[in-house]
Amino acid sequence: MLDKRMQDAINDQINWELYSGYLYLSMAAQFSEMGMAGGQNWMTVQYQEELSHAQKMFDYVTTRGGRVTLEAIPKPQTEWAGGLDMFKEALAHEEGVTARIFDLASLALEIKDHATHNFLQYFIAEQVEEEESAGDMVQKFTMAGDQPGGLYQLDKELAARVFTPPAPAA
C-alpha cells in the first residue's frame, strides 16, 4: 500500500504534469499563429509527453493501491514575445519539474518507500533529457535571432520531432 504522504505528493505531481501539458499546448497554439508548424509540432509532442508522464504516475498510484485525486488545472500563459521566449519558459519550467521530481525521490527515501524511489528513476532520467532538449532549443533560437533563413531551418528541425510513448511498466 502506498504511504498517504507519498500518494498525496504523487497526486500533486500528476496535476503538475497535466498543467505542464496545458502550458505546452498553449505554446503550440502560439507557434501555429506565428506560422511555425515545426514549433507547433515540437510543443505538441511535448504536450503528449507530459500527458504520458501523468498517466504513468496515475497507473503507478492505482497499482500500489492508492487513490488518484485530480485538481483544477490552472490557466497557462498564452502570450510570449516569440519562439526564444517560449523555449526559455520551457527550460525554466522543466528545471522546476526536475526540482519537484527530486523532492518526490527524497520523500520516497525518507519514508523508505524503495519501490517508489525505483519508479521515480525513470522521471529523473527523463528530466535530464527534458532540460537538455529545451536548453538546446534556447541556444538555437538565440543563434537564429531574427534571421528568416535561420528561423526557417530551425522550424524544419522542430517539425522532425515525433512522440514515442514510454514503454509500459514491467
Domain chopping of the chain, boundaries:
4-70+78-159
Cα–Cα distance, 73 to 41 (Å, whole number)? 23
pLDDT tens for each residue of 7-56? 999 999 999 999 999 999 999 999 999 999 999 999 999 999 999 999 99
Q: Which fold has domain 4-70+78-159?
A: Ferritin (1.20.1260)
Quote the pTM value.
Answer: 0.95
pLDDT in tens, 123-160: 999 999 999 999 999 999 999 999 999 999 999 999 99
pLDDT above 70: residue 170:
no
- Number of other residues whose CB lies within 10 A of the CB of residue 88: 18
User: Contact, 162 vs 45, CB < 8 A?
Assistant: yes
pLDDT number for residue 167:
76
pLDDT band of residue 67 (cuts 50, 70, 90) is: very high
Distance (Å) of CA 163 to CA 15, 49, 123: 21, 7, 16
What Cα–Cα distance (Å) separates residue 73 from each residue in 12, 18, 23, 76, 136? Answer: 11, 7, 10, 9, 28
What DSSP state is assigned to residue 164? -
Spatial separation of the C-alpha atoms in residues 4 and 165, rounded to whole Å: 29
Query: For residue 144, which of 131, 158, 132 has the smallest C-alpha distance?
Result: 158
Q: For the residues of 31-69, what is the DSSP string, one character each?
A: HHHTT-HHHHHHHHHHHHHHHHHHHHHHHHHHHTT----
Average pLDDT over residues 98-117: 98
Cα 92 from Cα 138, distance rounded (Å): 11
